[in-house]
Amino acid sequence: MSIKWEGVMPAVTTKFTTDDELDLATFEKNIKAQLAAGVHGIILGGTLGEASTLTPEEKETLVSKTLEIVGGKMPVIINIAEQSTKNAIQVAQRAEELGANGLMLLPPMRYKATDHEVVVYFKEIAKSTSLPIMIYNNPVDYKIEVTLDMFEELLQFDNIQAVKESTRDISNVIRINNRFGDRLKVLCGVDTLALESLVAGAQGWVAGLVAAYPEETVAIYTLVKNGQIEEALTIYRWFMPLLELDISPQLVQNIKLAEVATGLGTEHVRAPRLQLQGEERKRVEGIIEKAMATRPKLMDYRKL
């Protein structure tokens, strides 16, 4: 399956039982809600998916289960965040064997690599697989920026096709489009900058709060792309306090609480993460409760 690298692509959460096992029933319920809302792809194994706490066997189970649920209707993309090039290549090749449709690549983890090392790292992975690739560019959280000059080298590989743009600099969307045109697709990776990025020319949105609010997320994307900015802004203004829960070290706990509110998940997280407590829990619950009480009625965006 080819990937258009456009639209809303949820970075989904991983569901756990009270016994700290994979909760595949709840996971399936959420994925089906994403499909019903009209998302354009599913991304597994990101920060929101608590991938660093998952065993290789659990990751494979989630890939296989997602492919089964999706049934070829849209691409399933696997995030790779490894400490070594060797391990990253192994994960990429195994993802291809399992039937995944694409990869999202972070720079090397736990080591602030040089620009040259980062480029070589990405190139070695690209050479090892035929799967299409999206580079995750998040210097705020991961301390490594993939510059435009670095992308110039990387785009020698046909399967490097997109960037999850998380520099938090809206003008970078325009710089990328000016330099590379349609050769490098841009997907916004920061929930609180999504509408602005889409207006600036981003082709898609790798979203977080979509895990709890898939319809509102897809509605904003669809309205913007249809030129109905004011209508999109109405939803976006309501959504913003929730979207700000995504730019926090506790984004997983925050978003899982929101999933509880909308009936699309539980708040079980895997240690060392713990459920929110005290004043911070009250603060987040207050944001979610207010949003639920004022949740907008959506137009039928699927007909646009």
pLDDT in tens, 251-279: 999 999 999 999 999 999 999 999 999 99
Residue 179, Ramachandran bin (φ over 0: left; ψ between -120 and 50: alpha; else beta): alpha
Q: What is the DSSP letter of 76?
A: E
In angstroms, the Cα distances linking 86 to 51, 100, 106, 113, 151 are 18, 19, 14, 15, 22
pLDDT in tens, 74-90: 999 999 999 999 999 99
Over its C-alpha atoms, the chain yields an Rg (Å, rounded) of 18
pLDDT value of position 45: 92
Q: What is the mean pLDDT of residues 201-218?
A: 98
72 burial via Cβ count (<10 Å: 0-12, 13-18, 19+): exposed
Q: What is the pTM assigned to this prediction?
A: 0.96
Residue 181, pLDDT > 80, answer yes
Q: Which CATH superfamily is domain 7-303 in?
A: Aldolase class I (3.20.20.70)
* 207 CB-near residues (< 8 Å, 6+ apart): 8, 9, 10, 11, 191, 194, 217
Lowest mean per-residue pLDDT among 15-24, 90-99, 108-117, 231-240: 108-117
Cβ atoms of 122 and 92 within 8 Å: the answer is no
Q: What does the alpha-carbon distance between residue 191 and residue 11 come to, in Å, rounded to a whole number?
A: 11
Mean pLDDT of the chain: 97
pLDDT value of position 2: 85
